[in-house]
Structure 1
Amino acid sequence: MPAKQYDPLPGLRGGKNGHTERNSTIPPCTLRTSSRKNRVTLTITRRDGLVLVAPEYFDTSGVPKILERRTEWILRTIAAMQAKYPDFDPWNPPTIPPLLDLRCLDEQWQVDTVFQSAQKNPALRINAGHRLLLRLQEQPDNDQSDADQKPIGLTDANLETTRSLLNRFLVRKAKPILPDILAEAARETSLHFSRCQIRTQSTRWGSCSARGGISLNAKLLFMPRRLVRYICIHELCHTQQLNHGPKFHKLVRQMLPEVDTLEKELHSAEALVPRLLA
């Protein structure tokens, strides 16, 4: 899906201290076209900021008018996301997290970054003392006018590479742990699953197939273990009820009387995942 960046609308001014105000500049908008789209949709995501997805035949000259028409919604949504996610900054791309706090494992991993010749492949090295070394390809000298948009050396390609390498690290750490937590929850609840897969989904903590296969998100490692256990029991209940109807919620509450408290904690804990990996 091709992407194009649009500058903020002219004539608007930015708010103070990072907070959006009535006359704040809206952030740059990334335009993506899709052959599967038959209408224009505007979204704001924690990782990518303001994104407009349109059909391939879309006339891009209409983008500024769409953004101007939706300015109120854009500013309102940004304010809500800033309140929920302290690291949310739609004016700038996500940065490499200096620390991975894996609460489920009670481990903290420091992330160091070095830049190397473009002839060498990017890599992630696991060092002693819970330290990770990212080796990324060096970027040609940045134009100084772009210096306030992203740190020097962090091209979009490097950010994507970093996301991929760190996700692979998370999967590697999660594979010995999350299936065991799921199996323990299955024993406690007398609910059964056929197999467990570890992935890095963008929008789900877990999923359950009609055959009882459960997929868990490796990013659950950022959560406290009690919330990981809650997700596991939630998915195990789907082995009995695939939908989210009354019977499903009754079963979850039977297994977890404190489900309302856990759900609120989970909603807040989403911010524990670094923005780059969200």
Structure 2
Amino acid sequence: MTHRADSAYGNVLLEIGPGMSSQLSLFESPEAMEPWTVRVSRRARRLSVRVFPGGRVEVVVPQGVSAVAVQRFVDLHRQWIQRRIEDFSTVARPSQEPRPALISLPAIARQYDVDYRRTSASVRVLTGVADTLLVQGAVQDERAVAGALRRWLVSLAEIEFSRSLRAVAQQCELPFRRVQIRRQRTRWGSCSASGTISLNVCLMFTSPAVLRYLFIHELCHTRFMNHSRHFWSLVASYEPAYRQLDRELSRAWKDVPSWMLA
């Protein structure tokens, strides 16, 4: 699922050509705390605005697009932008615990006690008995610890999500080609035209019901590569409570710990 407009602050400096720039005021806000980040992309075919957990906002602009066109795009999505600003204002900042003592994964109904052992080696995560983890190595390096925990979680998600997604696909009779697990910053999942479903490893911190809804959502994209009336009708046939679950999913970033977002 992809959203194309989100919260913004102040002015944006938009590069519109070699040696050229235009100062674009997206929001009249003299109290703006920070500017948007604008990225001109050769691959982009359309304007998009992304919001990242923590509040960072990025405007992605195809080459050759004028500042005026960006302004019109933002104006067109202004109401949606405001709703997302309000959504993020209600989301608590993720836990700042750099080395968690407990990792809870509601999506698979499992939690892990984490022990740390300092050695001179590179940081690695070992799975022990009774759902315990041993993180050993240069554990005083918080970035290295976070990286090791993320790699461990991706490996676990590859096993758990692949199995559960295939089960849901069989129940719904919606086959897909393959699944991949990624640590995406702006989307929970996606489905390519070739039938590859990408799932965000951060889904591990959602509820089983929300996770199943996301599976159904992406599987339905194997039939309809859009969000048309037919698409949502198909989603509803498998999950009647999809509206509520979609709202829960849009707010689920609050449950993702800071070491996953670093």
Change (3 A) 1:113 1:44: farther
Greater relative contact order (Cα 8 A, min sep 6): structure 1 or 2? 2
8 Å CA contact 1:30–1:50 kept in 2: the answer is no
Unaligned runs of 5+ in 2: 1-30, 43-48, 60-83
1:199-256 CA-to-partner distances (Å, cap 9, x unmatched) read 2222222211111121222222222211111111101110011122332222212222
Q: The residue matched to 2:159 in structure 1 has which SS?
A: coil
Indicate which of 88, 99, 103 corresponds to 1:100: 103
1:124 — aligned with what?
A: 125
Q: The residue matched to 1:265 in structure 2 has which SS?
A: helix
Unaligned runs of 5+ in 1: 1-23, 54-76, 139-152
- Rounded Cα–Cα distance in structure 1 between residues aligned with 2:36 and 2:204: 32
- Rounded Cα–Cα distance in structure 1 between residues aligned with 2:246 and 2:136: 38
Q: How does 1:241-252 map to 2 (within 5 A)?
A: 241-252=224-235
- Rounded Cα–Cα distance in structure 2 between residues aligned with 1:207 and 1:255: 18
1:27-77 CA-to-partner distances (Å, cap 9, x unmatched) read xx799897869xxxx987435x65799xxxxxxxxxxxxxxxxxxxxxxx9
- Rounded Cα–Cα distance in structure 2 between residues aligned with 1:32 and 1:113: 37
Say whether residues 1:85 and 2:92 are aligned partners.
yes
Counterpart of 1:46, as a letter, is P
Q: The residue matched to 1:191 in structure 2 has which SS?
A: coil
Change (3 A) 1:222 1:125: same
Once the 2 structures are TM-superposed, how far is the Cα of residue 103 of structure 1 from its aligned partner? 1.0
1:254 — aligned with what?
A: 237
Once the 2 structures are TM-superposed, how far is the Cα of residue 176 of structure 1 from its aligned partner? 2.3
8 Å CA contact 1:30–1:52 kept in 2: the answer is no
- Rounded Cα–Cα distance in structure 2 between residues aligned with 1:121 and 1:83: 38
1:209 — aligned with what?
A: 192
Indicate which of 169, 181, 184 corresponds to 1:186: 169
8 Å CA contact 1:97–1:274 kept in 2: the answer is no
- Rounded Cα–Cα distance in structure 2 between residues aligned with 1:82 and 1:113: 35
Quick one: percent identity of the two aligned structures? 31
Task: Give me the TM-score of the superposition, normalised by structure 2.
Answer: 0.63
Counterpart of 2:222, as a letter, is T
Q: How does 1:129-148 map to 2 (within 5 A)?
A: 129-137=130-138
1:274 — aligned with what?
A: 257
Aligned residues: 205
2:209 — aligned with what?
A: 226
- Rounded Cα–Cα distance in structure 2 between residues aligned with 1:25 and 1:162: 34
Q: The residue matched to 1:183 in structure 2 has which SS?
A: helix
